[in-house]
Amino acid sequence: MNKSCCKFNRGKMYWYMLSGFLYSVLTLGFLSPLAEYTVTNYKINSTYIDGKKLKFTGTAKGMMGASYKWFLISIAIIVVVNFVIQLINNKIHLPFSIGTSSVISIVTAVIYKRNINLYIMKHTHFEDTKEKQYNSYYTFNFWQMVRNLVLTYIINIFSVLTLYGVTSTINDRYNSLRKVIDDTRFTYHSRKWKNFWIWLLNLILSIMTFGLFLPMAFIKNMEALAGNIHIKEAEIA
């Protein structure tokens, strides 16, 4: 069986992530979709699954368009929901109004992330697949994805990211088993606690280096994820 891996240059990926973070901050987030596109494009085009090279057919324009569209929709949802809660609160005091607003904000952020993930999935294909045969998608429904992302966010927040290795493994495994790239399905093999110790070490190194090691921690996570995904044996035969 051929190896699954990411064959990108760590230094180049580190620079993409660090520079993307910097110009996202300097532009107050306006160019963050472009930063995400740069990293995603390089990562996917450097990934092999059982020896089969992937390619990303999305564009910077398409990624930015999808990001801005769902960002505006997310803001509109938050504004409308908070406005309605405030109107009700003026007549009937709601002690949970602040909590409700926070939950709505988290769910809306997850919906935004979910649609960006769908754009990326739709434009991820095998290099040898012809354009007429493109057919990449997730097999789970909208609410399943929202539920998983919300739970992941909540656990990571309350554990101060110390359980990120575990939650990312569970989430990656769930997503990988439901990925279909050009009608090909996959399996996922990894041990949760192994990733936990790897991430915990990376977190400590990131703190000790005042965040400079953090991009490298995410790079190692990308490499681990790629190495754990394989094509189902029935489809290899």
Q: What residue segments make up the domains of the chain, in order of their start?
A: 5-236
Q: What is the mean pLDDT of residues 69-74?
A: 84
pLDDT for residue 1: 45
Would the pLDDT of 31 be above 70? Answer: yes
Confidence of residue 29 (pLDDT cuts 50, 70, 90): confident
Would the pLDDT of 236 be above 60? Answer: no
pLDDT, tens only, 32-65: 889 999 999 999 999 999 999 999 999 999 999 9
Please, which residues bridge with residue 212 across strands? none
* CA–CA distance, 148 with 31 (Å, rounded to integer): 27
Q: Which residue has the higher pLDDT, 77 or 146?
A: 77
Q: What is the largest CA-CA distance in the chain?
A: 66
Asked whether 147 and 94 are in contact (CB, 8 A), the reply is no
pLDDT for residue 195: 67
CA-derived radius of gyration, the chain: 19
Burial (CB count <10 Å: 0-12, 13-18, 19+), residue 16: buried
